[in-house]
A and B are shown apart, each in its own frame.
Chain A
Amino acid sequence: MDIPGQSPNNSPARRTRLTGLLLASVALALFIGSILGGWVSVK
């Protein structure tokens, strides 16, 4: 994503990508976790 005056490899853009990746991982973990949790609770 091009913020004017910044180059792609420096810290703010990288931080931005990492934030996105972290949030996406949380979402995925919750999805899998809720199904596993459901499965465990009725075993």
Chain B
Amino acid sequence: MEATVPGHADTHAHGHPPSGLMRWVTTTNHKDIGTLYLWFSFAMFLVGGMMALTIRSELFQPGLQILEPERFNQMTTLHGLIMVFGAIMPAFVGFANWMIPMQIGASDMAFGRMNNWSFWLLPPAATLLVVSLFVPGGAAAAGWTLYAPLSVQQGMGMDMTIFAVHILGMSSIMGSINIITTILNLRAPGMTLMKMPLFVWTWLITAFLIIAVMPVLAGAVTMILTDRHFGTSFFNAAGGGDPVLFQHVFWFFGHPEVYIVVIPGFGVVSQVVSAFSRKPLFGYASMVYATASIAILSFFVWAHHMYTVGMPVGGQLFFMYATMLIAIPTGVKVFNWIATMWRGSLSFETPMLFSLGFIFLFTMGGFSGLVLAMAPVDVQMQDTYYVVAHFHYTMVAGALFSAFSATYYWLPKWTGHMYNETLGKVHFWLSLVFFNLTFFVQHFLGLAGMPRRIPDYALQFSEFNQISTIGAFGFGLSQLLFLYNVITCIRSGPKAPAKPWDGAEGLEWELPSPAPYHSWETQPTVK
């Protein structure tokens, strides 16, 4: 894809930059690497999406129609791993790479070569996961949460998954080191921390979360690996261990992980809502503190994923109270977004539609999260479709919608062309309707007692499963409109000015569209 071609009028003395395939393999340019991340993440989104449609096809009716139960479990496991680690996280790292240097007035990321490695670790990891479907015994089938002892029991697909998780973790950690170092050290003169765009703030906070918890995930899967092959008994009672230890270590990673997935999205929404309200973000400092509070609190709530393991009631109470606390800063953010809109001058181009959709639907996910936080009620919901509904509201209508918002918002800057606005709006409305059709009914399935991770179910769950499957196919097909719009925008379309959105603020809008291959070679001064 040609955002910009490396210019030969560069003042840099690095000879002829490579072209063709080698350009992409050896690049240390943040825009190229951002582009690689974004295409990779979209490809993984389609792969994970096809797995979702396979799952929903099997669930269209009770009985086994297309998958044997073990294959079904492999699908649910890989769908989760691919969407979280292959689609959503790389998408936001792609936005970070493209936008952070431009937004802080830096010419590139702090560690260019490490940036290249961070990306190129991803395709081998993804290959390991997909290929594991075809080895003897098939892929890992313990759910993306990989609980022991089930994960210790499985075939070589589990070893491939563990290896892939290590590689993905290293990629994220290196990327985060780069992001923190860049933000802390390379800001343009005059850009104090409290003048940074909120997208940069949210990524700064997220990067700290990643460095804190990805190594812990690596520890957890390493312990599974040694239990499997090297005679340890971390998770085996007969050897003095405890299966629940895995859950504690995993969720200590797992809860901050869900904030890693959504906090950069908060940053995008803050910027987009402000731009299309033509009004400064309400309560900038408050938004920074609220995001930091959410991040810090996220370390204290992990066992709300484990209310039914049999922990002492005091433990349940602590984690319940801590989880309820997170609702407060999250609420503050929602109120601040609405206050930003209030008495602004609103227009509803596609980026704004997706951000508004985020606010509406992520908040619904927040409500189901609050219900789940209540331990005695959670006992009914744990491991049922209510939980599945909750996290798809926060991760799809949340993180994914904010990723769409970001893409439409910044496409003109990356490509130099405007995308097709009508098609963008159609993409939004179809996604909104089909998303809700797919996942709203799953709340009822959970309430009625339908467990997760089952390929087959009792007859009373039939109607809502059918509706959900139809919604899923509609949602999946709608994403092809997005693909078409993006490709068309790259290749052609009306020329985009430096600032296509009249309410937008930020250094990136002072650069031409498309942004030059090397930008801010001379740092701007921020007043």
List residues of chain A with CB under 8 Å of any chain B CB: 1, 3-4, 12, 15-16, 19-20, 23-24, 26-35, 37-39, 41-43
Q: A12-B185, A34-B215, A42-B242 are in contact. Are A23 and B234 (CB under 8 A)?
A: no
Closest chain-A Cβ to B217's Cβ sits at a distance in Å of: 9
Classify the interface of chain B: helix, strand, loop or mixed.
helix
Known: A31-B216, A38-B245. 10 other contacts (CB 8 A): A1-B108, A4-B521, A23-B180, A26-B211, A31-B222, A34-B219, A34-B249, A35-B223, A38-B249, A39-B234
- Closest residue of B by beta carbon distance from A13: B185
Asked if A30 contacts B212 (CB within 8 A), the reply is: yes
Q: What residues on A are CB-neighbors of B19 within 8 Å?
A: none
- Contact between chains at B216 and A1 (CB < 8 Å): no
Interface 1/0 per residue, B209-230 and A, CB below 8 Å:
0011111101110110000000
Take A23-B176, A23-B177 as given contacts and tell me if A31 and B185 are in contact as well, using a CB distance cutoff of 8 Å: no
| 16 pairs, CB–CB < 8 Å, chain A vs chain B | A1-B111, A4-B107, A4-B521, A19-B184, A20-B181, A27-B177, A27-B211, A27-B215, A31-B216, A34-B216, A35-B222, A37-B249, A41-B242, A41-B245, A42-B234, A43-B240
Q: Could you say which of B111, B245, B249 contacts A20, with CB atoms under 8 Å apart?
A: B111
Q: Is B233 an interface residue (CB 8 A)?
A: yes
Measured CB to CB, the closest approach of chain B to A1, in angstroms, equals 6
- Using CB atoms and an 8 Å cutoff, list the residues of chain B in contact with chain A: 107-108, 110-112, 114, 173, 176-178, 180-181, 184-186, 211-216, 218-220, 222-223, 233-234, 240-242, 245, 249, 252, 521-522
Give bound CA distance, A28 to B107, whole Å: 29
Chain B residue contacts of A39, Cβ below 8 A:
234
Could you count the A-B residue pairs with CB atoms below 8 Å apart for me: how many are there?
Answer: 82
Residues in B whose Cβ lies below 8 Å from that of A37: 249
| Interface contact B219-A19, CB-CB below 8 Å | no
How far is B11's CA from A4's CA once the two chains are assembled, in angstroms?
10
A31 to B110, Cβ gap below 8 A?
A: no
Q: Which residues of A contact B176 (CB under 8 A)?
A: 23
> In whole angstroms, what is the CA distance A43 to B108 when docked?
48
Residues of B close to A30: CB separation below 8 A: 211-213, 215-216, 219
Chain B, residue nearest A31 (CB): B215
- Name the residue of chain A whose CB is nearest to the CB of B110: A16
List residues of chain B with CB within 8 A of the CB of A28: 215
Closest to A12 in B: B185
Assembled-state Cα–Cα distance A38/B240 (Å): 12
Name the residue of chain A whose CB is nearest to the CB of B252.
Answer: A34
Q: Kindly provide the distance from the CB of B242 to the nearest chain A CB, expressed in whole angstroms.
A: 6
Q: With A3-B107, A34-B249, A38-B223 in contact, do A16 and B185 touch (Cβ < 8 Å)?
A: yes
Say yes or no: A15-B177 contact (C-beta < 8 A), given A1-B111, A38-B223.
no
Contact between B181 and A38, CB atoms less than 8 A apart: no
Docked CA distance A24–B207 (Å): 12
Give Cα distance in the complex from A33 to B218, angstroms.
11
Chain A residue nearest to B240 in the complex (CB): A42
* A19 to B180 Cα, complex, angstroms: 8
Q: Closest chain B residue to A30 by CB distance? A: B215
Question: Measured between C-beta atoms, what is the minimum distance from B419 to chain A in Å?
Answer: 33
State whether A27 touches B107 (Cβ < 8 A).
no
With the chains together, A24 CA to B180 CA distance in Å?
11
Pairwise interchain contact B177-A20, C-beta atoms closer than 8 A: yes
> Whole-angstrom distance between the alpha carbons of A26 and B181 in the complex?
14
Closest chain-A Cβ to B237's Cβ sits at a distance in Å of 9
